[in-house]
Every structure is written in structure tokens, then in C-alpha cells.
Amino acid sequence: MYLIQTSAVVTLLISLFFTLCSAQAIPLYSNDIPNSIPGTDQETATKDPNGIKLSKVRNPTLTPYLPKSDKPTSAVIICPGGGYTILAWDHEGVNPAQQFQAGGVAAFILKYRLPSDVTMKDKSIGPVQDAQQAIKLVRSRAKEFNVDPHRIGLMGFSAGGHLASTAGTHFNKSYINNSEGTSLRPDFLALIYPVISFTNPRLTHVGSRDFLLGANATDEQKYEFSNELHITQETPRTFLAHAADDSTVPVGNSIKWFNKLMKYKTPASMHIYERGGHGFGMKNPTSKDDWFAMLLNWMEAAKLRTCNLSFPFNQG
């Protein structure tokens, strides 16, 4: 009984620690939301064994998880996945944000708009507008957040990985008002079982593509958002993690991205699990390999993380 009570107290204290160290959600836009159709907010939150899932998002926000540090830290903007229909808020948002915070990295969970003809004039660009605005907001308020404006990355899971890879390949085209000329290029990417290709029928996750572009998308639209086709020598260095047996988003998406980066001699690291399927989140239960620890090590080796804080608890 004592052990159970102690465990409960530790869990409560950890939860309280992260709550106190986390700011409230920040509206992504200070004025009108671009490309938006006015209407009633119908955002819905549901809960399953993996935590909260959000749907019908029309008002984007950024939720910071800031570590205590006496010097500017690196920052990661997290894009949860969900096939562009929902956001796996806890599983692929809060969980990595808390671990980044514990590891001395500032994390910001992006609640991006989910594509809808009801809420957006052009649903295909709504998510990337929000990703660019998130980069702009964090970079322009870097001093306030105590982050290094030259070490701001994007992480994305599944369809969130498609969004992060879009921001990582389309940064020379501003989808938002950027009269200040703030750089919209992420300094690095972390893509976890990402959707990448919209043109290769063997690789495409049709659901993500159709929810973003519509079932009748043109070849030009599919090309525009098939992100492996837009990699250049300017594309940010990337960390990738995927499972070889992923039947939802084939591992070939990550492999294509990695191989294209190699063509341009862009630094990259990729970890492919033998098993694990899709959507394993922070911990692949089929393996003792810890992709998140590998990511932090990769960041440190690339001088993208210099604050060496240890985790306050064992992830298990």
C-alpha cells in the first residue's frame, strides 16, 4: 500500500511540476486569422486510452513548455498528428513537450487548424500558414521565451510530420503576412512516422492527402504538397524515426526524405524499428531502443541542444 501511495504522490508532483512550468495557450494570431471564414467555434475534445484528441480546430494556438535555464535554449514546435482530421494532443503533443522541457529544450505545442471548407477559404494552406506563424512568433519573441532564435526546430508526427516537412520545404514562400521579413525556415526537423509523399501511390496516405487537398485534388496540388519533391540544399537537417512494418504510412516516406537529403549532403539521422506499426508515440513497445533519447543526443551533437538537464523520472 505504501508503494502505491508513494507512486501516486510522485505522479501528482510530476503533473504539478509540468503544470506550473507551462504557460497558458497563446493565440497564434494577434489580429484576424488569415484565410479564415467567420463562424461558431465547434472545437471538440474527446478522450481515449492515449489521451485527449481535438477535432474541428479553427482557432490556432501555441502552448509553451519552458525549462528553467540561465541561458537561451533551443526550441521545438510540435505538430501532433491525426490524419488532418484530429490532433492527438496528449499522445503526440503534451507527452513530447514535457520530455523536451525536462531535457532542457523549450517546447511549443501547435494547435493548428484542421482543413475544412467550412472554416477556411483555402483549406490546403491553413495548416502551413499556422506552422509558419508559429515559427515567426517564437523567433520574434525569442528573448521573452529565453530561446535561441537560431535553434528553432519543428517536430511532426504522422500528418503533423507532413505539416513540418511542408514548412521545411516551403519556407521561401510566405503563406502569411510577414512584412517584418522574419525567417520562416526551421533550423532543424524531427519527423516521426511522417506522411511525406502525395504523388507516389505506394507511399501516399490517401486520407491525409484527401483531407488536406480534397478528394478531387489536381496533379499540380498533389505535386505542390508532395514534399520529397521540394527538398533542396536549403532544407533543414532532419531526424527521422519510423517502423518498418507501418502499414498506415509506409516507411518509404521517411526513406525517400532521407535519401533526398543525402543527395544534397544535408546532415540527417534515421532510426527504423523492425516492428512497431503506426502511431507508437514516444515509446515503441516492441523495442528497448528509445528514439527520443537518440533525438536529444543528435541535437546535442549538432549543437542544437546545450542544456544538459536530466529527466526527472524514468520514461519506462
Give one DSSP letter per residue of 54-74, joined into a string: EES--S-EEEEE----SS-EE
Residue 313 has what pLDDT? 33
- List, for residues 156-174, the tens digit of each pLDDT value: 999 999 999 999 999 999 9
Residue closest to 251 by CA, chosen among 268, 287, 276, 227? 276
Q: Give the residue ranges of DSSP H helices in the chain.
A: 2-20, 95-102, 126-140, 142-145, 159-167, 206-213, 219-224, 252-263, 291-301
Three-state secondary-structure class, residue 242: strand
- List, for residues 123-133, the tens digit of each pLDDT value: 999 999 999 99
Residue 308 has what pLDDT? 45
Q: Is the pLDDT of residue 4 over 50?
A: no
Segment 281-306 shows an average pLDDT of 95
Q: Is the pLDDT of residue 19 over 90?
A: no
Please give the tally of structural domains in the chain. Answer: 1
Three-state secondary-structure class, residue 270: strand
* Dihedral pair phi/psi, residue 41, rounded to 5°: -75, 115
User: For residue 23, what pLDDT band results from cuts at 50, 70 and 90?
Assistant: low
- List, for residues 42-55, the tens digit of each pLDDT value: 999 999 999 999 99
Q: Is the pLDDT of residue 278 over 50?
A: yes
The DSSP output letter for 309 is P
163: CATH: 3.40.50.1820
36 or 3, which is more confident = 36
32 in a structural domain: no
- List, for residues 176-207, the tens digit of each pLDDT value: 999 999 999 999 999 999 999 999 999 999 99
What percent of the chain has pLDDT above 90?
89
Segment 267-288 shows an average pLDDT of 98
Residue 103 has what pLDDT? 96
Residue 3 has what pLDDT? 39
120 in a structural domain: yes
User: For residue 8, what pLDDT band results from cuts at 50, 70 and 90?
Assistant: very low
- Mean pLDDT of all residues in the chain? 91
146 in a structural domain: yes
Residue 182 has what pLDDT? 97
How much is the pTM?
0.90
* Dihedral pair phi/psi, residue 165, rounded to 5°: -70, -30
Residue 305 has what pLDDT? 85
Domain region containing 139: 2-27+42-301
Segment 134-142 shows an average pLDDT of 98
Q: Is the pLDDT of residue 143 over 60?
A: yes
Segment 83-97 shows an average pLDDT of 98
Segment 70-78 shows an average pLDDT of 97
35 in a structural domain: no
Three-state secondary-structure class, residue 19: helix
118 in a structural domain: yes
314 in a structural domain: no
Three-state secondary-structure class, residue 11: helix
Segment 115-127 shows an average pLDDT of 98
251 or 19, which is more confident = 251
306 in a structural domain: no
47 in a structural domain: yes
Segment 55-76 shows an average pLDDT of 97
